[in-house]
Structure 1
Amino acid sequence: MWNPDNFMETLYERSASARKKQTELGREERKSLLKEHLRTALVPFEEMRAPLDPILLERTEYDDYVRERVEIGTVTGLRMPVYVLIPKESRRTWELPGNSSGKLPGMLALHGHGYGSREVAGFAPDGTMSVKKGGHNRFALELARQGHIVAAPEMIGFGDRRLLRDTVPGKERSSCNSLTGQLLMHGMSLAGLRVYEAIRTLDYLAMREEADPRAIGCMGFSGGALLAAYAAAIDERINAAVLCGFTSTYKGSILSINHCIDNYIPGVLDYAELPDWIGLIAPRPLFVESGENDPIFPAGAVREAVGILRKIYRDEGAEHRLQSDIFPGAHEVSGRNIYPWLRSTWQSLE
């Protein structure tokens, strides 16, 4: 047979041997090595770091929250719009322990494939308010209604941040493939750039006077959960992470199904499988959510990944900080246990 299936399996097994050598290191030494490898992917963008220089583009008041759209700088030549959702007093029904200043827990809301940050903030593609929840289930808006100040950036390649050729009527699409190919020609990855921009959004959120720095979290869906996982792994300002429709193994999902090219990061398999990368978040709180009938991240692989994560958290003495929910559904955000878990996480602050 001339099909390359066996060859690709051989490559995976060869990488497995390299990964096995990593496990022989001490836990802290291995964590340090893995984090350093992730940071390496961000180095080209850190060298191009631009001032945030935030500009308020619009501000709209609703009954229970205020919505701002702010533009910030990320790297030289790139500006990024961010929706900021701020709950009004009527929605601030609980307080953080030891917080007498009225500061709020903050959340990064990272969207996946679709039409961008509008989708998580409650908009239809044309910018009008939407009554349809969609796969993202308007989770940024729900986080605000649960009492968080939320920053939802428009990730490069989607919505208003596509290449011009991908915005031509009748030929509209995301720019993931084109951006990935061009960045690879420069020794960079689209995933690395998006993670870096997520961290720059965190820089902005941390500047907001409404946000309590002890209670900054991130929540992502699908490709947005990839960004949330890697950003939380290397940036310890993120005190809790929620990953929806993503946690799996490379073997069980990314390598076995036709995914978007933006999921693939050069060299990661020589160091660790996906649950080990996500496990870098430990011992900080982590919530994993996935649909039982998700065809993209199959439930069997999700359960395998959660099992590996439980061992990592157990070794860190923090098994109680890992929670998971495989709900009856497909590739979508449920949220049924996420919001109570976040509230309990923030209320347990010391």
Structure 2
Amino acid sequence: MWSPDEYLKQLYDSKDQMREHVLGPQHWRERKGEVRTKLMKALGSLPNGSVSLNPVLLERTEREDCIVERVAFATAEHLRIPAYVLIPKQLEARAPAVLAWHGHGYGSREIVGLQPDGTVDEGEPGIHQHFAVQLVRRGMIVIAPEIIGFGDRRLAADRVKDPKKASSCFALSSRLLLYGQTLAGLRVYEAMRALDYLLSRDEVDPGRIGSMGFSGGGMIAALSAALDDRIQAVVLSAFTSTFRGSLLAMNHCIDNYLPSVLEYADLPELIGLIWPRSLFIESGMEDTLFPESSVREALTVLERIYQEEDALERLQADLFPGKHEVSGRKSYDWLAQRLRA
């Protein structure tokens, strides 16, 4: 009788009713702008984006089917980001390109087939499935930035810890809140700066840009595409859900929580800001972090958004037999086909 469970339930229900009142019954085309504005507010203040990228090439290696570059560029004053760029050997004059966002783990190396120390991973791929490698094999240039808070971009106090187990998410999130910023907002901002860098490369076709994110990287892929129309096709792996079914049902990393966002929109509506561009949802049916029932509930909302505007063929989904992991059994080829169309 003393637990606050019922309070939290009623809070969600009341905010759900408030969202209906604020958004009203109008079609998605009419209310999309307001939801986008509220998302930008929830993400908090962002750095000044006028800083020059000043990119540098750190290293360049050759693999059997691609060239791998490690580059670095500025995103804001006092912030530089390293990234791997995978380039197919058989390259078109100007090729489609994909932003690849890793989830919680040891960082960008985990999706480009490397161990934490940078050596080649000869073993079975983990839950990330080296998905950047899978994408470059399909003829797309892939950039895999190191998300702030992971791998080489952890706070100094965390760099001595095992990168597979220790991130800087909590420390960064809590400290940024004191300045009216959120870690999610900073990551989304850096995603758009990574796109600026990608488009500066001569071999990239600016009209064929995609994004793929896994788990926490799915949030970055979703929200950056929601705010940046330069991204034409998006794959979200192990992320799509409702807030009630996932973030409010269990403890997630603090970097997933956006202040006041539930007053205006649930997660499927935030993802729906990608409409009318192409969107692919994949999720494991045994994923306990983003349960199947919640994924299906979110898909129902997204289908309604896309169907309202005659764009349902641009929304695809694959609920595969698996856990919290990347599948790719349909999403890799779907993304390649969409960016070649």
Alignment TM-score, normalising by the size of structure 1? 0.93
Q: CA deviation at 1:142?
A: 1.1
SS at match of 1:36: helix
Task: Please say if 1:114 is aligned against 2:105.
Answer: yes
1:15 and 2:15 aligned:
yes
The one of 128, 131, 136 equivalent to 2:119 is 128
Tell me which residue corresponds to 1:259.
252
Q: What is the rounded CA distance, in whole Å, between the counterparts of 2:330 and 2:224 in structure 1?
A: 23
Q: Residue deviations 1:58-92, cap 9 Å, x none?
A: 11111210111111111111100011010001xx5
1:183-198 superposed matches below 5 A: 183-198=176-191
Q: Summarize the alignment of residues 70-219 of structure 1 with structure 2, pairs less than 5 Å apart.
A: 70-89=71-90, 92=91, 102-131=93-122, 132-169=124-161, 173-219=166-212
> Structure 1: which amino acid aligns with 2:8?
M
Counterpart residue type for residue 159 of structure 1: G
2:55, 2:35 → 1: CA distance? 32
Structure-2 separation of matches of 1:80 and 1:130: 23
Please state how far the C-alpha of 1:4 moved relative to its aligned partner: 1.0
RMSD (Å) for aligned C-alpha atoms? 1.5
Q: Secondary structure at the match of 1:45?
A: coil
Aligned to 1:99: none
Amino acid at match of 1:20: E
Identity level (%): 53
Please list the CA deviations of residues 96-118 of structure 1 after superposition, one character each: whole Å capped at 9, or x if unmatched.
xxxxxx21110000011000000
- What's the secondary structure of 1:17's corresponding residue? helix
Residue identity matched to 1:274: L
Tell me the distance in 1 between the aligned counterparts of 2:182 and 2:43: 9
The 8 Å contact of residues 49 and 76 in structure 1, kept in 2 or not, is answered as: no
What letter corresponds to residue 125 of structure 2 in structure 1?
K
Offset at residue 25 of structure 1 (A): 4.1
Q: Distance in 2 between matches of 1:324 and 1:4?
A: 36
Q: CA, structure 1 residues 309+215, in 2 after alignment: closer, same or farther (shift >3 Å)?
A: same
Q: CA deviation at 1:267?
A: 1.2
**Quick one: distance in 2 between partners of 1:2 and 1:24?**
38
Change (3 A) 1:80 1:184: same
Give 2:320's match in structure 1, choosing from 299, 323, 327.
Answer: 327
Residue 291 in 1 paired to residue 292 in 2?
A: no
Identify unmatched segments of 5+ residues in structure 2: none
SS of residue paired to 2:46: helix
C-alpha displacement at 1:42, in angstroms? 5.5
The Cα shift of 1:213 comes to 1.1
Q: Deviations over 1:257-290 (max 9, x none)?
A: 1111111010110111111110111111100000
**Bigger Cα displacement from structure 2, 47-56 vs 285-294:** 47-56
Relative to 1, partners in 2 of residues 1:249 and 1:42: Cα closer, same or farther, differing over 3 Å?
closer
CA distance in 1, matches of 2:295, 2:212: 17
- Shift of the 148–269 alpha-carbon distance from structure 1 to 2, 3 Å rule, reads same
Higher relative CO (Cα under 8 Å, sequence separation at least 6) belongs to: 2
CA distance in 1, matches of 2:152, 2:257: 23
CA-to-aligned-CA distance 1:18-68 (integer Å, 9 cap, x gap) = 210213344333111111222335563243642111011111111210111
Please give the TM-score of this superposition, normalised by the length of structure 2: 0.96
Alpha carbons of 1:237 and 1:169: their partners in 2 closer, same or farther (altered >3 Å)?
closer
Contact 1:41–1:188 at 8 Å: present in 2 too? no
Contact 2:87 2:136 in 1 (8 A): yes
Q: Deviations over 1:3-28 (max 9, x none)?
A: 11111112111211221021334433
SS at match of 1:74: strand
Which range is displaced more, 11-20 or 278-287?
Answer: 11-20
Q: Distance in 2 between matches of 1:141 and 1:315?
A: 36
Count of matched residue pairs: 338
User: Residue 59 of structure 2 aligns to a residue in which SS?
Assistant: strand
